[in-house]
Amino acid sequence: MGVPEKIDTENLVELHNLKEYFPVRTGAFSTVPLKAVDGVSFNIRAGETLGLVGESGCGKTTVGRTMLRLYKPTGGEFYFDGELVTDKNIHRLRKQMQMVFQDPYSSLDPRMTVEDIIGEPLDIYHLYSSKAQRHERIMELMELVGLNAEHATRYAHEFSGGQRQRIGIARALAVNPKFIVCDEPVSALDVSIQAQVINMFEDLQKKLGVAYLFIAHDLLVVHHISKRIAVMYLGKLVEIADADDLNDNPIHPYTLSLLSAIPIPDPKTARASKRIVLEGDVPSPMHMPSGCPFRTRCRYATEQCAKEMPPLTDRGNGHSVACWNR
């Protein structure tokens, strides 16, 4: 049986068993697949935020980029509004799916003015009937993200990191998307600016009803903005739950160690809390351990963990975990 072109779903975004393998040359005629994303599935409802967390190199960014077809997927299906996303329809659907990139310094063209950067999606999709209408729409978008009208004729290098990220967000909003992949949008910014940008994302969601996949490695930031949180380790999804439930009742050993590493501002509480330090190094994604990829660093690991990868199973209230022993 083939993959259905359309499905009946209440979710805006549905990801089924997404895989992204990159061939890495190991010799003159041989390659080894680097499994950046290996069987990731989740869904996002309209107007909802799903946080995606994990340490550097776990495949978070690759998930977002593969969903938007910036990378061609090795396997799996991505449905947007019930429609299967393919190479044939991505140009039409990308109008409803946009991305805010991690680095505001390299994601903006230094030769273009702010007006042209924000106006580029309007040009591509022919979303105006006159230059005056184009200019008016760009001014609206700049006001929406907290930029002044006089900024329109300036270039990206004349702005601070926070202002550049606002330009990137305005560009993503230009085509009225229903869904935005936010790829670590605040990690390159100062802490005080991070708070402003996070609050802006929340305000925009309330005004426009846009859904987010919010990728980050800072669990505090993700907990603040997300309705649900998914945790990744070495290309696999290991836990997904409601944000408060994950914070109060983490189950997977990797999630426990991530939460224990969050700095606590109160010295007494910090001394009383126990940090879970993981032993060993992260395995290479080119030479993954058999079974569960976390087993080489897990204190609960057994022989079964080496034999096969545990499936993501629902433990109640939509809290799913991939672990044999927890």
> Domain map of the chain by residue range?
13-96+177-321
Measured distance CA(305)–CA(310) in Å, rounded: 7
* Owner of token pair 């190479």: 87
Least confident of 53-67, 97-111, 143-157, 275-289: 275-289
Measured distance CA(277)–CA(231) in Å, rounded: 18
Question: pTM value?
Answer: 0.92
Measured in whole angstroms, the distance separating CA 177 from the mean position of its chain's CA atoms is 16
- Check: CB of residue 81 under 8 Å from CB of residue 92: no
Closest CA to 197 of 228, 165, 222, 229: 165
- Check: CB of residue 53 under 8 Å from CB of residue 60: yes
- Check: CB of residue 53 under 8 Å from CB of residue 239: no
The CATH number of domain 13-96+177-321 is 3.40.50.170: no
- Residue 93 half-sphere exposure toward CB, CA atoms < 13 A: 19
Measured in whole angstroms, the distance separating CA 88 from the mean position of its chain's CA atoms is 24
Q: Percent of the chain scored above 90 by pLDDT?
A: 67
Q: How many CB atoms within 10 Å of residue 163?
A: 19
Q: Which backbone phi and psi does 234 adopt, to 5 degrees?
A: 45, 50
Q: Percent of the chain scored above 70 by pLDDT?
A: 95
Model confidence over 25-40: pLDDT tens digits?
888 888 888 999 999 9
* pLDDT above 80: residue 125: yes
Model confidence over 55-108: pLDDT tens digits?
888 899 999 999 999 999 999 999 999 999 999 999 999 999 999 998 888 889
Alpha helices in 98-190 (DSSP H): 114-124, 131-144, 161-173
- Check: CB of residue 42 under 8 Å from CB of residue 239: no
Buried b (16+ CB within 10 A) or exposed e, 171-194: bbbbbebbbbbbbbbbebbeeebb
- Stronger pLDDT, 271 or 207, i.e. the higher one: 207
Model confidence over 311-321: pLDDT tens digits?
999 998 899 99
* pLDDT classification of 299: cutoffs 50, 70, 90: confident
What lies within 8 Å, CB to CB, of 192 at 6+ separation is none
What single DSSP character describes residue 226? -
- DSSP bridge partners of 231: 53, 239
